[in-house]
Amino acid sequence: MTDHTGSNEEAGREFFKLCGSGNDFVFFDAREQPAGALAEPATIQRLCARATGIGADGVVFLEPSTVGDVRMAYYNSDGSRATLCGNATLCTTRLAVELGIVEPTGFVIETDAGPIRARLVHDRPEIEMPAVRELVADAPGIAAAAGEARIGFALAGVPHLVVRVADVAEVDLDARGRALRFDPTLAAGANVNFVSPSPAGDGWRMRTYERGVEGETLACGTGAVACAAMLAAWQDAERSAVIVTSSGRALEVRQPATAGVGPTLAGEGRIVFRGRLGDLG
Ligand SMILES: N[C@H](CCC[C@H](N)C(=O)O)C(=O)O
């Protein structure tokens, strides 16, 4: 990163750009070279800046783990640390195999939300998410706006609101998403997901206003898990669901019948390019 004197001590450091259904991330292999100043909020913001940096929704550092095969530290693009990111974990699954850290048949990723089992199934990343907790089918004290049928809350590693609407394409996502993200009833705020039946009648569509990005992201893994759990709680759908994200790519949530066992999340984890840092300005 560039400090006040313009020096650039991280110049030349290798990074990887990965995409999870349109939710995109800058990855660093920090197993031998720690993140150091790269993890400072101002540097995370510079790395994620769309026009002046690499451009991403978040940054992931792969680190050594004492409880799993690899550890991931996740930061939102505003520099805030988040306990869990579903799409970044799917991308970690891909990169850990690519780097030869693990075998694709099955391994453990240590996250701030605990250990997550991961694998590639027919070359598609699949992860076992923590069980959804604190689910409330109708969040108290949060008034639905016109066009909103229900608003529920769920903790899917990170806090989520799920809003049932007739058509997500009609939602003023930035305005309404921001208002709900900062709702005064939510101590730590929440990610906000709007969900509606797919026009083709073959599943569901979602759009997400993401905490820590403070805007719409094209997909949200923990959000898909929260939506699937909420749709089941509302009895709108079975406990497992395929949810099409804003990018048009689908996230698949499979919820086992066993109480207390978390769902499996499957989706894209694609290495778009690898590069070396230059001047982040
Ligand atoms: N922005 C979220 C973390 C990333 C969630 C999302 N990118 C995912 O795929 O789960 C938060 O601070 O709660």
Active site residues: 85, 220
Say yes or no: CB of residue 220 within 6 Å of ligand 1. Answer: yes
Alpha helices (runs of H) in 41-194, residue ranges in sequence order = 41-48, 86-98, 173-181
Structure tokens at 69: 């095969």
Tens of pLDDT along the chain (281 residues) come to 444 334 466 899 999 999 999 999 999 999 999 999 999 999 999 999 999 999 999 999 999 999 999 999 999 999 999 999 999 999 999 999 999 999 999 999 999 999 999 999 999 999 999 999 999 999 999 999 999 999 999 999 999 999 999 999 999 999 999 999 999 999 999 999 999 999 888 889 999 999 999 999 999 999 999 999 999 999 988 888 999 999 999 999 999 888 889 999 999 999 999 999 999 99
Q: Which domains does the chain have, with CATH numbers?
A: 14-129+268-276 (3.10.310.10), 133-260 (3.10.310.10)
The single-letter code of the amino acid at 168 is V
Residue 23 assigned ligand-binding role = yes
Tell how far CA 237 is from the center of its chain.
Answer: 23
pLDDT digits (tens, 9 = 90+) for 71-127: 999 999 999 999 999 999 999 999 999 999 999 999 999 999 999 999 999 999 999
pLDDT of residue 202: 81
Say yes or no: CB of residue 82 within 6 Å of ligand 1. Answer: yes
Measured in Å, residue 191 CA sits from the centre of ligand 1 at 7
CA-closest candidate to residue 241, choices 250, 166, 91: 250
Kindly provide the b/e burial profile for residues 103-141, where b requires at least 16 CB atoms within 10 angstroms of the residue's own CB.
Answer: ebeebbbbbebebbbbbbeeeebbbbbbbbeebebebee
pLDDT of residue 6: 40
Q: Nearest residue CA, atom 3 of ligand 1? A: 85
pLDDT of residue 5: 36
In angstroms, the CA 67 to CA 5 distance is: 40
pLDDT of residue 8: 63
* ipTM tops 0.90: yes
pLDDT of residue 98: 98
Atom of ligand 1 nearest to the CA of 20: 9
Measured in Å, residue 223 CA sits from the centre of ligand 1 at 8
Atom of ligand 1 nearest to the CA of 219: 9
Say yes or no: CB of residue 157 within 6 Å of ligand 1. Answer: no
Measured in Å, residue 5 CA sits from the centre of ligand 1 at 34
Is the pTM above the cut of 0.90? Answer: yes
Say yes or no: CB of residue 158 within 6 Å of ligand 1. Answer: yes
